[in-house]
Amino acid sequence: MFRIVLAFFCALVLNIPFTAFAEDISYPTGPVLLTVSGEISVVNQPDTALFDLAMLQSLPSRTITTTTIWTDGIQVFEGFPLQALVEKLGIEGGILRMVAKNDYAIEFPVHEIEPEAPVIAYFRNGSEMSVRDKGPLWLVYPYDSSLDYQTEVVFNRSIWQLDRIIVLYE
């Protein structure tokens, strides 16, 4: 509360828009799983938002039960819709350059994100995913729910070992 009052006071005295102070997120207390940088308006360090597992779990959750071309049998993924992260960070367009731990990268136009898909999963079959097991974060779709999710574009966007997102404007 003190921080909000201070920000409001500074905005009045210095004639700075209050919105410049209004949005930020807490700093992670656990290991950082995801770093988002670039054109974002909500940060927890200069020009960057760092997330640990607890912070990611505080986003709206979604469970997807599906098969994949990379695993055997039905898998249950739990995570958060990518759209929820976009909204949380105030991303208003552009391209998400999503990068894995091994530097594999994909580009995802923000306008192609659906409200419920894809999901950035932090659990598979009820457990955290190790790096060896395509974790700790994996961008997944409900592949079995529609032929629209069984295309080369969707499969290429299904990046695992995701650890960085850079927001770029075209």
Is residue 107 included in any domain, yes or no?
yes
Q: Does residue 166 contact residue 38 with C-beta atoms inside 8 Å?
A: yes
Is residue 4 included in any domain, yes or no?
no
Reduced to 3 states (helix: H, G, I; strand: E, B; else coil), residue 80 is strand
Residue 69, domain extent: 30-168
* Per-residue pLDDT tens listing for the chain (170 residues): 444 434 444 433 444 333 333 357 999 999 999 999 999 999 999 999 999 999 999 999 999 999 999 999 999 999 999 999 999 999 999 999 999 999 999 999 999 999 999 999 999 999 999 999 999 999 999 999 999 999 999 999 999 999 999 999 97
* φ, ψ of residue 135 in degrees (nearest 5): -105, -170
Q: Which CA distances in Å does 165 have to 3, 28, 45, 97, 161? A: 28, 17, 15, 6, 12
Is residue 36 included in any domain, yes or no?
yes
Our count of domains for the chain comes to: 1
Q: Which of 115, 129, 120, 135 shows the shortest CA–CA distance to 57?
A: 120
Which CATH number fits the domain that encloses residue 157? 3.90.420.10
Is residue 34 included in any domain, yes or no?
yes
pLDDT in tens, 55-64: 999 999 999 9
Is residue 9 included in any domain, yes or no?
no
Is residue 83 included in any domain, yes or no?
yes
Is residue 87 included in any domain, yes or no?
yes
How do strand 75-81 and strand 95-100 relate by DSSP bridges? unpaired
Is residue 80 included in any domain, yes or no?
yes
Reduced to 3 states (helix: H, G, I; strand: E, B; else coil), residue 46 is coil
Q: Which of 1, 7, 9 shows the shortest CA–CA distance to 21?
A: 7
Backbone torsion region of residue 65, taken as left when φ is above 0, otherwise alpha when ψ lies between -120 and 50, otherwise beta: beta
